[in-house]
Amino acid sequence: MSHVPEHQVKAWISGFGVSVPRGATASSPAGIEAAADGLTPPLVVKAFGPGLLHKSDAGAVRLGLDSAGSAAASAAGMLDELAGKGIVPDGFLVEEQSEPGVEMIVGAVRDPAFGPVLMAGLGGVWTEALRDTSLRLAPITEADAHAMLAELRGSALLDGFRGRPPVDRGALVKVLLAMSDMVTALGDGFTEFELNPVICGPSGAVAVDARLVGRDDLDPAAPAATAPPRITDFDRLFAPRGVAVVGASTKRPNFGNMFLTFYKAVGYAGRLVAVHPTAEEIDGVPCVPSLTEADVDYALVAVPAKQCADVVRHASGVPFVQVMSGGFREMGEPELETGLADAAREAGVRLLGPNCMGVYSPAGGQTFIGGEPGRPGRIAVVSQSGGLAGEIIKVGERRGLAFSKVATVGNSLDVTPAELLRYLDADDGTSAIGLYLEDPRDGRGLLDALRSAGRPVVALVGGRSDQGRTAAASHTGGMIGDDRIWTALGVQTGTAIVRSQDDLIGALDALDLHGHRTVSGDGVLVIGPSGGASVLAADVFDGASLALPQFPDEAVEALRALGLGAGSSLANPLEIPVGPRGNPDLVRNAVTSILGRRAFSDVVAHVNVQSFFTFGNSADPLVAYTRAVGRLQAETPVARITLVVRNAECAPPGVEDQVRNVAREAGVPVYRSMEAAASAVAAMRRTLDGKS
């Protein structure tokens, strides 16, 4: 690892339009005075060379020098001090000292998964102690750059503070855009790149220090090489004409036998074979001695990790091979994974996994879970966890979701989430896509696929913690593995990043039912019983960055005409009486009155299920209320209606399912909590409306 001398970095960045101080270099203190000729004091002198990555810490910077002679004398003193520390500089840089202003840091780091990530922050304590920084993945747009500055808690300092003049934000935005262009040009050769500080004032922004660290062969002027994305037709993965299972036993049932049972149970109509060196059949399924004789589109391998490469090596002619087996990189055996990758390349097959469960597609006969397959639908999922994917399928289908295609990819040794995302985004049978990711393997490809996606995407990310972060020698180095990278990814690509499995299923449910709607207006209207629930709802939706606009006067008057407002305020969230003895159409009538005078994109109607069975003994009033909410959706196609059944566990068995089914038939998603509903609405706002 090496770093490029500061003066060389500054010469390079000036070619991208970044302003730097006027300066010159000298190989020794004796040459400083001549080098400084023509520069206007006050001056700055810095030493550069090995051991001087952090010049200030080493005492290799002198500020406020009033003449070229003073600069030369300071350089001589600096040389003696550095010698006492065992540091011999390559030379000295003398520059004009910039006028004071707001100090910013503009940096970039190469994240192991996503490549170059940009950071903007206020300098000094704001960056170091308060971590007041904003991140984006390169390349960025001008809108991204403005948003980065707006996100800073101390952004008011840029607009003038306590009588100070505002800085030239446009100049600072140009520095951010230049940084984006520069790290894109550098490719994978750099590790860290930092302009710190960039001094900003009313007349511009000047990078007074620059540091670039990378490989020993790093050449800023060399163009970066980029590889085109790999394109594969995955149709036969999800609808194979034949399936082979490797690893089933004639003596003791194992995972291979389990998968044979699954395929038989779903009535798989294609060619189903087991691979066994000697057996004629296993569990009623005919056997072939190796994958060479299988004549299938898809092979599922469930043998010990050390045997997998040899099995795959004989899979020539099989388009897709899925390795269920674990025990590779995730268990500290990377050499086994390398051998498996080599075997897949030799055989010319595409490999899913290893360490994954397989593929699910009711329309294509694919399955990796037991039981009756669900009805074919339009929701697709790509997951790096097989177990979690199974839960998403089973829980989702229990709630009424129907899936088009689900793929588990485990370690993503060959086929990556990015590849599958590109394929699913072009799939006519898919309307929304869910992702569960841990290590996307091809983060840059994922970013590009998400940026170009035309279908809404919701992502649940595992491991969003400090684990896996790499210690580095600068502020920007600390961005490696930063959880905020995923947040930036969501903002830049319109992807909804959720925090739990339940939120992922809930968001997909909302997109399934509401994804086709074109809404008008903005903001969320929350309506239902209980003042306390309304107050808590306001907190929840505010926490999800969802606005609850208030009603115009004419809407308030319309609500009063319905007999509302006695004993409660007519505000958003709107408290109205809903219960077993109430008018089931009251919510519908109130919402219709409001929407006729102020458009809302989303309406969240909530109900306290407990009250229906504390003060009543029949599910009929609750079902009648649900039907009224369904009619409201039918009558207001330009708004998305969501139903929250609070305290649903208080209902007798079967009632919640009945309510959910009635609502779903009307196109209304149902949630058990305000938190779940807020997460789903926020996901729709992000993916469908392009808003936070």
CATH code where residue 60 lies: 3.30.1490.20
Please report the pLDDT score of residue 42 as a whole number. Answer: 97
- Cα distance between residue 288 and residue 608, in whole Å: 60
What is the pairing mode between strands 602-608 and 640-646? parallel
395 and 275 in a common domain: no
Regarding whether 490 and 473 lie in a shared domain, the answer is yes
Instruction: Note down the domain range covering 458.
Output: 356-515
Environment class of 112 (CB within 10 Å of its CB; exposed 0-12, middle 13-18, buried 19+): exposed
Same domain for 526 and 657, yes or no, is yes
Question: Do the domain assignments include residue 3?
Answer: no
| 606 touches 538 (CB < 8 A) | no
Last residue of a domain, one of 482, 515, 548: 515
Is residue 402 assigned to a domain? yes
Q: Which pair of tokens denotes residue 185?
A: 């040009």
The DSSP secondary structure of 153-196, one letter per residue, reads: TTGGGGG--TTPPPP-HHHHHHHHHHHHHHHHHHGGGEEEEEEE
- Half-sphere exposure (Cβ direction) of 103: Cα atoms closer than 13 Å: 14
Residues 343 and 373 in one domain: no
CATH number at residue 680: 3.40.50.261
124 and 141 assigned to the same domain: yes
What is the phi/psi pair of residue 612, to 5°?
-65, -25
Cβ–Cβ contacts within 10 Å for residue 563, how many? Answer: 11
Instruction: Give the span between the Cα atoms of 474 and 463, in whole angstroms.
Output: 23
CA–CA separation, 78 and 92 (whole Å) = 10
Residues 23 and 415: their CA atoms lie apart, in Å, by 51
In a domain, 219, yes or no: no
Domain contains 377: yes
| Residue 134: CATH number of its domain | 3.30.470.20
Q: CATH number, domain at 242? A: 3.40.50.720
Of 153, 20, 155, 156, nearest to 93 by C-alpha is 20
Is 325 a domain residue? yes
Amino acid at 91: G
How many domains, the chain? 5
Q: What does the DSSP assignment read for 512-553?
A: HHHTT----S-SEEEEES-HHHHHHHHHHHHHTT---PPPPH
Does some domain include residue 38?
Answer: yes
Peptide bond into 573 cis (omega under 30): yes
Same domain, yes or no: 348 and 374: no
**Final residue of a structural domain among 323, 354, 385:** 354
397 and 273 in a common domain? no
In a 3-state reduction of DSSP, which class is residue 624?
helix
**Cα dihedral value 469, 471, 473, 474, nearest 10:** 30
| Residue 155 domain flag | yes
Which phi and psi (to 5°) does residue 147 adopt? -65, -35
Helix (H) or strand (E) holding 661: helix 655-665
Q: Is 267 exposed, middle or buried (0-12, 13-18, 19+ CB in 10 A)?
A: exposed
Instruction: Kindly write down the DSSP assignment for every residue of 222-246, as one continuous string.
Output: SPPP-PPPP----HHHHS-SEEEEE
Q: Is 4 contained in some domain?
A: no
Residue 486: the pLDDT is 93
Mean pLDDT by runs of 10 across the 692 residues of the chain is 87 96 95 94 94 84 95 95 92 95 94 92 74 92 96 91 88 98 90 94 95 80 66 94 97 94 94 96 96 97 96 96 92 92 97 96 95 94 96 96 97 96 97 94 93 97 60 42 86 96 98 96 94 93 96 96 83 93 93 96 97 89 96 97 96 96 98 98 94 52
Sign of CA dihedral 236, 240, 242, 246: positive
Question: What backbone torsions phi and psi does residue 94 show, to the nearest 5 degrees?
Answer: -115, 135
| Same domain (yes/no): 131, 74 | no
Residues 296 and 334 in one domain: yes
**Pair 619, 535 in one domain:** yes
* Shared-domain flag, residues 54 and 107: no
Domain end marker among 303, 332, 354: 354
Same domain, residue pair 83 and 65? yes
